[in-house]
Chains A and B, each alone.
Chain A
Amino acid sequence: MAFPVLSAIVFLPAIAGIIILMIPEERKTEVRVTALAAATFALLLSIFVYVSYDVAAGGYQFIEEYSWLPSLGISLKLGVDGISTPLILLTGVVMFTGVLISWGIDDRPREFFAFLFILASGVFGVFASLDLFMLFFFYEIAVFPMYLLIAIWGWVKTREYAAMKLTLYLFVGSVVALVGALAMYWESGLGTFDMLALQHANFSPEFQRLWFPFVFMGFAVLGGIFPVHNWSPDGHVAAPTAVSMFHAGVLMKLGAFAALRVGIMLLPEGAKYHMKWVILLALVNVVYGAFIAMVQTDFKYVIGFSSVSHMGLVMMGFATLTEKGLIGASVQMFSHGVMTALFFAAVGMVYDRAHTREIPKLGGMAKPLPLVAFGFIVGGLVSMGMPGFSGFVAEFPIFMGVWEVKPWIAIVASISIVITASYIMLVIRRVFFGEMPAEFEGHIGPIRVLDKIAILFLVSLMMLLGLFPSVMLPMVQSGVQGVLSLLGGA
């Protein structure tokens, strides 16, 4: 093992965050430049991991292991497989674009970037951890900076309420999952938190059925599963732009990913037993989320609820426990992450200039902000699952997988595609086209160069994946094979 690239990725943001905290408060430019440098570096590292992951070999790669607390079998074990590698890349992308978008933050930027980077470290850590204890450790690190980021830099009207709601929901979920994880640890009798070892612990079916709901639902809270989803739209809306991007783009994937890693992969028997109702909950997410999104008048709430709907598709893909469903869900995590980041970036840019997000009050934004409109439209096409964009690559296999298991659920869920199309079209027409209200005439300034880079970067990623699915599908497939082998060739 030459260069410990995963630990570099995981710890780089936290170290950068600490360095940023040491820069004197008033030197805001230095703070921003340091943040951008660190984010660029993290992005390059994550691209490096993505490119050099050996798809043919599959399995866990870049494994690093450092003994941490031998007496309890805790080690810092890092490694990525075909499912987590795209998510590492996603985190790198969102972190980079998030910093670009946040250039204009003027209230205590030092603390803002420091907290954001500590959060990013936690996110990278969860995706790369192969040790159950460390996974929890990083999971919690990814949760608490969110509170401060939303409460301090969020939207004045709802930030206190939304931040506390979000933190409490997520904390409840994680501690419930923690009790389940401790039960697994003692039940296995292996004396280790190594997940690769726990995968072969042969838990009895009764044990798995008892604990699966705790672990899976505990993490799925962060994945936004119904009925514990309602922290998420409030949180998205109250958060500042970069944090919304992180939050909807990456954090919700964290929940879904941990539910897969710990819930489904460690307790496969429990998963098979309980998936009947999980798939129904996910169906509620998909359809109900889309309907609620349609009736929102706040631009950002539309996107917030559309995230609930799309994350439902991820959960639904997992719940099929079939190859197609799992592949689709994994690609959807990446695709939705990029798409939502783009959406929230666009919403933020419009709001920063118009100072309102009420759809009826907006209009004609495409003229002063052509690139933002372009980005939003591409995001909308992805969201509708239009062929040629990444959304299609992701959603099509999910529906195929669901059809294999329960055709009627696939039919009901497909309603959501129609509704999604309708609300996305509606928003595009109302916000970006039509008459611009007189009050905005001449007040809508252009966006920064950095904003343009961020939009173009996100757009090109989605088109790349849409046009050449082969850049990701084989990798994800190799990861899914690992999950299927644990499920016993389901």
Chain B
Amino acid sequence: MLGYDATSIMAILPEILLLLTGVLVLVYEPLWNKETQRRNAGWLTFGGLLATIVISLLFARPGAPQEVFGGMVRFDWLGFAFKMFFIFAAAMTTLFFMDHEKLGSRGQAYLLLLAATIGMNLMASAADLVMLYLAIETTSIPLYVLAGFMKDSDESTEAGFKYLLFGAMTSAVMLYGFSLLFGFTGTTDLYALMGALTAGQLPAGTAFGLIFLVTVGLGFKVALFPFHFWAPDVYQGAPTPVAAFLSTASKAAGFAVFARLFMVAFSSMEFSAIWVNFLAILAAVTMTVGNLIALGQKDVKRLLAYSSVAHAGYAMIGLVAFSELGIQSVVFYLIAYIFTNLAAFGAVAAFERVTGTTEIAAFAGLSRRASSLALVLLAAFLSLAGMPPFGGFVAKVFVFAAAVKSGLIWLAIVGVLNSIIGVYYYLTFLKVVYLYRSEDEDKPLPVPSPYLMALVVLSIGVILLGTVFAPWFGLSGNAAIALF
């Protein structure tokens, strides 16, 4: 099985190209002198990421699901769709990196970003527990470094260290869960696990224990209650573009693993009965806790952190619907969320570059100061709040529709009530942007061209997702079918 035929190469073509980009950055970065280096390394990374998307879309689209490399990696639409959006998110993040004072001038930042993206790609396509664990670590370690990248900032250092401690602990717990899975079944292959766990010799308590241990690790990745405590501190302390990447791609990668692991390996009757209820309760609590704490935040990055906790809860609704439509809606939700949250964090980063603060009060008068930036924030925050014609509205409707279809009406109602809380604090922020006056109104707030480019692309994406949603929904459907 360990043949290196064309399909195997196709399956990991995006990763190969990413690695190539990384090597190029590493080689060329020292040759550029200090003045011009910063943008060049960024554009090279951006170009590489873009080329990866184009080439993969043209030549490496998956056909029927297929396992390659001895069952380590599965080549299917679920993995592929997620990969494309991870790479897209990385490309947008690169644009945000370029004009960041601390990140843009260092080639290592781009390299770490690429490494994390490779890890995420493998997370989405891994079909074996060993591969999965390696992928998760490959993703996490560069992100720990990026979160603590600003060495001279105490907050950034704290963020990096906190993220590392939390991450190491939860991944150890998850690894313990993996080892038990292997111990009970004798296999690490996810699809073989499905058969082995269907036999049903495991007592319910043990099954729950296994599910719990695995959820600890993945719950940390997606910031699910009660494993969300790192998120606000890390988002606040980390450089804003890094926080953007953490809150979108990294969270989506966690969900990709959730989907594959739970919908495949844990899909037997006994198991699904346990985890559906367990995760449904976690989803309800996550939404509520995230939204309630977000209400009192004074810093927009912390606000977005708690909102991202809440969004993990909404997305989880689709997963516990335990149906094809459910997975389809999760994938759609994550796509919409990636676009929306990148736009929100990007606009915040553009603001922070000039003003040096992310306190909500500092955003007063922004609509008079930089009306285009204010409009991007308007689109992003309304999309997060679930208002049409933005992507967030359709995404929420699909997730709730999946829940109602599966009979989880109570969860849909909890979600609906939560989205009302959400509307309150998102609008409160927009009120500051649009309504309040400030003395700095006349000071210019230049937005560098890479930022402008990314924000325009993301805003258009957010609107397209909310109006012309059929193609995206079709894509999500392709991804969902791969699991059934």
Contacts and interface: CB of A to CB of B under 8 A. Distances in A.
Given A111-B367, A168-B420, A70 B470 contact: yes
Contacts of A5: none
Contacts of B168: none
Interface in B414-439: 416-417, 419-420, 423-424, 427-428, 430-431, 434-435
A71 interface: yes
A163 to B, nearest CB: 8
B92 interface: no
B49 to A, nearest CB: 30
Contact of B435 (A160, A167, A179, A183): A160
Nearest to A144: B387
Contacts of B473: 69, 71-72
B434 A171 contact: no
Contacts of A183: 404, 409
Contact of A141 (B368, B378, B389, B434): B389
A410 B409 CA distance: 40
A176 B424 CA distance: 17
Nearest to A133: B397
A394 interface: no
Contact of A178 (B385, B400, B430): B400
B434 A185 contact: no
Interface string A165-205: 00110011001101100110110000000000000000000
A68 interface: yes
Given A111-B367, A147-B427, A21 B412 contact: no
A70 B401 CA distance: 15
Interface in B356-413: 367-368, 371, 375, 378, 382, 385, 387-389, 393, 397, 400-401, 404-405, 409, 412-413
Nearest to B368: A108
B477 interface: yes
A152 B435 contact: yes
Contacts of B375: 21
Interface string B454-484: 0000000000000001100110010000000
B431 to A, nearest CB: 6
Contact of B387 (A71, A133, A140): A140
Contacts of B385: 144
B469 to A, nearest CB: 6
A15 interface: no
B237 to A, nearest CB: 31
Contact of A168 (B371, B424, B431, B470): B424
Contacts of B378: 148
Interface string A76-117: 000000000000000000000000000000001001000000
Contact of A167 (B368, B404, B419, B423): B423
B416 A175 contact: yes
A182 B430 contact: no
B39 to A, nearest CB: 29
A133 B382 CA distance: 19
Contact of A179 (B371, B416, B424): B416
A144 B388 CA distance: 9
A182 B371 contact: no
Contacts of B419: 171, 175
Instruction: Give the dominant DSSP class at B's interface.
Output: helix
Contacts of A108: 367-368
A389 interface: no
Given A178-B397, A179-B416, A69 B470 contact: yes
Contacts of B424: 164, 168
A476 interface: no
A172 B420 CA distance: 7
B477 A71 contact: yes
B341 to A, nearest CB: 19
A175 B420 contact: yes
Contacts of A172: 420
A192 B413 CA distance: 22
B427 A167 contact: yes
B388 A140 contact: yes
Q: Name the residue among A138, A151, A175, A182 with the largest chain B CB count within 10 angstroms.
A: A175
B389 A69 contact: no
A276 B435 CA distance: 44
A71 to B, nearest CB: 7
B325 to A, nearest CB: 8
Interface string A9-39: 0000000000001000100000000000000
Interface in B9-32: none
A138 B387 CA distance: 10
Given A71-B473, A148-B430, A179-B413, A136 B405 contact: no
A176 B416 CA distance: 8
Interface in A256-303: none
A335 B435 CA distance: 34
A164 B427 contact: yes
A468 interface: no
Interface string A338-351: 00000000000000
B371 A111 contact: yes
A137 interface: yes
Contacts of A160: 431, 435
Given A140-B393, A167-B423, A168-B424, A68 B412 contact: no
Nearest to B416: A175
Interface string A116-156: 00000000000000000100111011011001100110000
A147 to B, nearest CB: 6
B423 A168 contact: yes
Contacts of B389: 137, 141
Contact of B393 (A70, A72, A137, A185): A137
Given A137-B389, A168-B420, A176-B416, A182 B404 contact: yes
B234 to A, nearest CB: 31
B412 to A, nearest CB: 6
A178 B435 contact: no
Contacts of A133: 397
Nearest to B421: A168
Q: Which of B388, B405, B416, B430 has the most CB of A within 10 A?
A: B388
A68 B401 CA distance: 17
A355 B220 CA distance: 57
B397 A136 contact: yes
B404 A186 contact: yes
Contacts of A70: 470
Given A69-B473, A171-B420, A171-B423, A182 B434 contact: no
A397 to B, nearest CB: 36
A225 to B, nearest CB: 19
Contact of B409 (A71, A137, A179): A179
A168 B368 CA distance: 26
Nearest to B468: A68
Contact of B416 (A71, A147, A178): A178
Q: Which of A140, A151, A152, A164 has the most CB of B within 10 A?
A: A140
Contacts of A171: 419-420, 423
A178 B401 CA distance: 9
A132 to B, nearest CB: 11
Contacts of B409: 179, 183
B387 A151 contact: no
Contacts of B388: 137-138, 140-141
Nearest to A160: B431
Contact of B371 (A25, A151, A152): A25
- 9 smallest CB-CB distances across A and B, nearest first, come from A175-B416, A182-B404, A144-B387, A69-B470, A140-B388, A137-B388, A186-B405, A182-B401, A141-B388
18 contacts: A68-B470, A69-B473, A70-B470, A108-B367, A108-B368, A133-B397, A147-B427, A147-B430, A152-B435, A160-B431, A163-B431, A167-B423, A172-B420, A175-B419, A178-B397, A179-B413, A182-B397, A185-B401
Given A152-B435, A163-B431, A179-B400, 14 more contacts: A71-B474, A72-B401, A133-B397, A143-B387, A144-B387, A147-B430, A148-B378, A151-B434, A152-B434, A171-B423, A175-B416, A175-B419, A179-B409, A179-B413
